[in-house]
Amino acid sequence: FELTQPPSVSVSLGQTASITCSGAALSKQYCYWYQKKPGQAPLLVIYKDNERPSWIPDRFSGSSSGTIVTLTITGAQPEDEADYYCQSADNRGPYDLVFGGGTTLTVV
Amino acid sequence: EMQLVESGGGLVQPGGSLRLSCVGSGLLVSDYWMHWVRQAPGKGLVWVSRSNSDGTRTNYADSVKGRFIISRDSAKNTLYLQMNSLRADDTAVYFCARFLVRYDAFDLWGLGTMVTVSS
């Protein structure tokens, strides 16, 4: 069970960034997104494909289509520069959790 | 303010053991499923293990199964990860994380503790 993300995405300040996560299990399991900055704890940004926690600005959104889930940042800000990880669960057996390889978002 | 604080990391030789601790403040660790996640230097996040609220149900990633043991002490409000037969590829920052049913996700993480396995 694998989740595949692009290693890097670059976006111009104020423009829209899209980070994809693909995996066969995503058609049946929810996907979650975490932001990770160096020296900081990971931060939940999207849960259950497209739900946003109260502490996350509304420029972050999520969507799902089949086996591909997308994190979209509309109007990217300098503070959005970070690594982003998708996460889901293996729906076989004990539901082990799996993270994607991570995508480094650069805001230029 | 709720916090999770990990400790116990350090330098250990291959084949050695280490016990990591994760202390909760502002929350009762015993009320939640708790997990360990690690990040090797320059690499991504990898799920390691989880424990249900009373410690009676545990699961492990294949890479650590049979070597690591997750446990908790409710009196000390602490989650543990006992790591045995350590290998070089166990070198990583280890994070503990709270799993919240409301989000079906990890909503609270510690800053992590570094484990280096090297001779």
Residues facing B100 on adjacent strands: B105
Nearest to A99 among B45, B104, B107 (CB): B45
User: What pLDDT does residue B91 have?
Assistant: 98
State in Å, rounded, how far the first CA of chain A is from the last one.
34
**B43: CB partners within 8 A, 6+ apart:** B92
Could you tell me if A33 lies within 8 Å of chain B, comparing CB atoms?
A: no
State the pairing for strand pair B92-100/B105-109. Answer: antiparallel
User: What pLDDT does residue B45 have?
Assistant: 96
Could you tell me if A40 lies within 8 Å of chain B, comparing CB atoms?
A: yes
Yes or no, beta carbons of A48 and B104 under 8 Å apart: yes
Q: For residue range A23-61, what is the model confidence (pLDDT) as tens digits?
A: 998 999 999 999 999 999 999 999 999 999 999 999 999
CB < 8 Å from B in window 55-84 of A = 83
Residues of chain B under the 50 pLDDT cut: none
The values of phi and psi at residue B56, to 5°, are -85, -15
Residue of A nearest to B114 (CA): A39
State the pairing for strand pair B113-117/B58-60. Answer: unpaired
User: What pLDDT does residue A95 have?
Assistant: 72
Q: For residue range B1-24, what is the model confidence (pLDDT) as tens digits?
A: 999 999 999 999 999 999 999 999
Which of B2, B9, B3, B22 shows the shortest CA–CA distance to B72? B22
Contacts of B95 in chain A (CB under 8 A): 41-42
Tokens of A62: 């999520």
Which of B3, B52, B33, B22 shows the shortest CA–CA distance to B98? B33
Nearest to A44 among B44, B45, B105 (CB): B105
